[in-house]
Amino acid sequence: MRLSRAIALVLAAATLLAGCAGASTAGAGGSDGKLTVVTTTTVFADMVSNVGGDLVSVTSIVPKNADVHTFEPRPADIRTVASAKLLVMNGLGLDDWLQKTITDASAAGTPLLQLGVDLPGVTLLPGETPDTENPHLWMDVKYAELYVDRIATALGSVDPAHAATYETQAAAYKQQLETLDAWVRAQIATIPVANRKLVTFHDAFPYYAREYGITIVGVAVEAPGQDPSAGYTAQLITAIKNAGVKAIFSEAQFPPKLVDELASEVGCKVVANLYDDALGDPPVTSYEEVIRWDTTQLVQALS
């Protein structure tokens, strides 16, 4: 089977690392003997933790409740990247700032896994700006399972002594995600078909919507960190009214002012506590809980 470019890059870099360090577990790990993995977001850190278990020590550069799109690394983050034996990002424009951080940290030889790039079996959707692709693949649980496969391969490449364990733990985690996927489908099925319409702060839910049978009517901002034009907002208000949208949703890391203004214009409710790019406070402390939380909020607001 042809390896995707992202995995091939990891394997090549891992081979180089093995040549320098003897491919031993100690060579791949930190002072505590664990494999040191650094991810861009808390969502990916949770996935890596589930696959790596006690064999890995995982750090997310972007903290919980923060926006990965507009994040600016600090000097401490550069030091964190320099200490990594494996770096994990999404790619597709979500967290490309990591590339410069790697350069600043002189970590060009560190294996880099781009979870969303050239992912087999995926049909990409358009991004928030022209000639881009939407990066939020993991919001479709089926695609998240593909992320898990890719993580297991990367961990096993950097730490071949434990490759079989990573594969076993990945398989167990994927079983949990299969259960999660079935639960989401059952929950969405309780929403009247006419109400399965979604307006969100930014374009983080198209893969979720496509997989689980929800229509995206629009988004409040075309890209995080950019204020929408008056013309764009007017068109969105018209679309919301025409579609009979029941609620407008926003993520917890974004200020609710804009969606509040939209909701007052169209006379619908606001749900301002969804999650996608980052984990949050309890109970939203894992990828699985992100999906469960968001689904529950959608069902309560749209039913």
Which residue ranges make up each domain of the chain? 5-116+125-178, 185-302
Query: Cα(233)–Cα(255) distance, rounded to whole angstroms?
Result: 17
Q: Which two three-digit tokens encode residue 42?
A: 């808390």
- Which has more pLDDT, 130 or 85? 85
**What average pLDDT does the structure give for the chain?**
89
Task: Write the CB contacts of 279 (distance below 8 Å, at least 6 apart in sequence).
Answer: 42, 43, 46, 64, 65, 285, 286, 287, 289, 290
Q: Average pLDDT, stretch 105-116? A: 96
Confidence band (pLDDT; 50, 70, 90) for 175?
A: very high
* pLDDT, position 15: 35
* pLDDT, position 273: 92
Q: Using one digit for the tens of pLDDT, what is the confidence trace for 224-258?
A: 667 788 888 899 999 999 999 999 998 887 877 88
Look at residue 136 and tell me whether its pLDDT is greater than 60: yes
How are beta strands 269-274 and 247-251 bridged, if at all? parallel
Confidence band (pLDDT; 50, 70, 90) for 66?
A: very high
* pLDDT, position 18: 34
Query: Cα(196)–Cα(88) distance, rounded to whole angstroms?
Result: 34
Question: E-strand spans in the chain?
Answer: 35-39, 56-60, 86-89, 112-114, 197-200, 215-219, 247-251, 269-274
* pLDDT, position 225: 66
Look at residue 174 and tell me whether its pLDDT is greater than 70: yes
* pLDDT, position 37: 98
Contact 85, 110 (CB under 8 A): yes
Confidence band (pLDDT; 50, 70, 90) for 129?
A: confident
Q: Phi, psi at residue 170, to the nearest 5°? A: -65, -40
Look at residue 128 and tell me whether its pLDDT is greater than 90: no
CATH class, domain 5-116+125-178, is alpha beta
* pLDDT, position 224: 67
At the fourth CATH level, which superfamily is domain 185-302? Nitrogenase molybdenum iron protein domain (3.40.50.1980)
Task: Write the CB contacts of 249 (distance below 8 Å, at least 6 apart in sequence).
Answer: 198, 199, 200, 201, 259, 270, 271, 272, 274, 297, 298, 301
* pLDDT, position 211: 98
Look at residue 19 and tell me whether its pLDDT is greater than 90: no
Q: Is 57 helix (H, G, I), strand (E, B) or coil?
A: strand
Nearest alpha-carbon partner for 274 in 223, 179, 202: 202
Look at residue 9 and tell me whether its pLDDT is greater than 50: no
> Burial, 257: exposed, middle or buried (Cβ in 10 Å; 0-12, 13-18, 19+)?
exposed
Query: Cα(232)–Cα(238) distance, rounded to whole angstroms?
Result: 10
* pLDDT, position 20: 32
Q: Using one digit for the tens of pLDDT, what is the confidence trace for 195-210?
A: 999 999 889 999 999 9
Look at residue 27 and tell me whether its pLDDT is greater than 70: no
Contact 88, 40 (CB under 8 A): yes
The sign of the torsion formed by the CA atoms of 51, 287, 219, 301 equals positive
